[in-house]
Amino acid sequence: MEEQKTRQKICSAAVSLFTTKGFSGTSVREIAKKAKVNPALISYYFDGKQGLLESLMGSFFEGYLEKLETAYKLSDSLPLRHCLHKAIWDLLVYQQENNHLARFVYRETTLDTTLTREIMTIYLRKEKFYWQKLFDKGFKMGEFKKQAVDLTIVQLKGMIMMPFMNPQYLQEIFNMSPSEHYFAKRYGMRVLDWIDERFCRKEVLQAQQTAEVIHFRATP
């Protein structure tokens, strides 16, 4: 228990410093000072600053993929629109809960480093796999309008990432910030409405919305 608390303190301190000073501009001693731990513990738990970076990025993407995988697994029993909504909603909430880490991780993935290439191979290919499977299934079941899957994934990924990668731009366009408690709800509803209009067949959407209203009214 104490070990987990120490690791969490180190990770929280590192995210805060990496976000404001950058990875290269932050020293192990600064992380230890902010976390109020012995600098040797960073080497002990993470094998140094690089290992800490790898742990933070790996942990972020594992949590991210878990949300997407959960939504995909529901596609055998729920309409594809519901699964897509769940994936987008859960990912926005997850990133908002890890706002500073999300921003730092996305910034790091823009750099051409060995770690970034490894992440692209391990995690981002898995993400593409789940999105592609969801859309392919939606096309096959007749729920979604036929369109280019690759461009669809790029559009969707951009809308999910952008608020955390460039919050200033989001503030300018939508007058909201990922740090505000209502962000996921307000921005998420805008994205889900766009999804319905852009991807869902009109007759399927109307049938599902009617069923949702009936279910809501029948619920005590």
**pTM score of the predicted model:** 0.89
Separation between Cα atoms, residue 167 and residue 146, nearest integer Å: 32
Separation between Cα atoms, residue 86 and residue 129, nearest integer Å: 17
Query: Are 75 and 160 within one domain?
Result: yes
Rounded to 5 degrees, φ, ψ at 180 are -85, 140
pLDDT tens figures, 51-95: 999 999 999 999 999 999 999 999 999 889 999 999 999 999 999
Rounded to 5 degrees, φ, ψ at 146 are -65, 130
Provide the domain count of the chain: 2
pLDDT tens figures, 165-196: 999 998 999 999 988 988 989 999 999 999 89
Yes or no: say if 164 and 106 are a contact pair by the CB < 8 Å rule.
Answer: yes
The CATH number covering residue 81 comes to 1.10.357.10
42 CB-contact burial (10 Å; exposed 0-12 / middle 13-18 / buried 19+): buried
| Domain that includes residue 5, residue range | 1-47
Cα torsion 91, 202, 153, 134 to 10°: value is 70
Query: Are 8 and 107 within one domain?
Result: no
The amino acid at residue 219 is: T
Query: Are 105 and 162 within one domain?
Result: yes
DSSP 73: H
Q: How confident is the model at residue 205 (pLDDT cuts 50, 70, 90)?
A: confident
Place of tokens 């990133």: 95
**pLDDT score at 219:** 40
Query: Are 161 and 213 within one domain?
Result: yes
- Strand-pairing partners, residue 200, are 144
Yes or no: say if 199 and 131 are a contact pair by the CB < 8 Å rule.
Answer: no
> Nearest CA to 85 among 169, 162, 144?
144
Q: How confident is the model at residue 212 (pLDDT cuts 50, 70, 90)?
A: low
Yes or no: say if 178 and 99 are a contact pair by the CB < 8 Å rule.
Answer: yes
**pLDDT score at 214:** 40
Query: Are 36 and 97 within one domain?
Result: no
Angle at 22 between CA 156 and CA 10, to 5 degrees: 95
pLDDT tens figures, 158-169: 999 999 999 999
Q: How confident is the model at residue 49 (pLDDT cuts 50, 70, 90)?
A: very high
**pLDDT score at 200:** 86
Query: Are 168 and 65 within one domain?
Result: yes
The CATH number covering residue 28 comes to 1.10.10.60
Query: Are 142 and 207 within one domain?
Result: yes
pLDDT tens figures, 125-142: 999 999 999 999 999 988
Query: Are 191 and 86 within one domain?
Result: yes
